[in-house]
Amino acid sequence: MYAENIMDHFNSPRNSGEVKDPDIKHKEFNPFCGDQIELTVKLRNGKEIQEIKFQGKGCSISQASASMLTEIVKNKNIEEVKKLTKEDILDLLNIPIGPVRMKCALLALDTLQNGIKIYEQYTKKK
């Protein structure tokens, strides 16, 4: 049985939707189960997450993880966000996650960190 906080975020996701004119827009999916997450991010001065929203579909773990992640990264420097780890996400979820569900739990973090990498590569080329 899932923890109450996971079901709360799954049933009433925080920061659901899409940011208008995002600096970062990135989507990833888990090919093993079909979960999808798309994150849109507006940066302040190209360095700090001013606004972040997500859209997706999938299991309660992937969607709750995305909701929780968007809450903790708001107003953080992207350098801090790049340092977030699997353990940080597991601490947020606060339930044991087996190997099969690990990709679900980490999908939002992977999506955000990969989106930041693409953004940084693109802005360095300018």
Burial of 107 from C-beta contacts in 10 A (0-12 / 13-18 / 19+):
buried
pTM of the predicted protein model: 0.93
**Cα dihedral 112→123→80→50 (10° resolution):** -70
Residue range 21-40: mean pLDDT, rounded? 95
- Is 4-119 a domain of CATH 3.90.1010.10? yes
Domain ranges of the chain: 4-119
pLDDT by residue (tens digit) across 61-98? 999 999 999 999 999 999 999 999 999 999 999 999 99
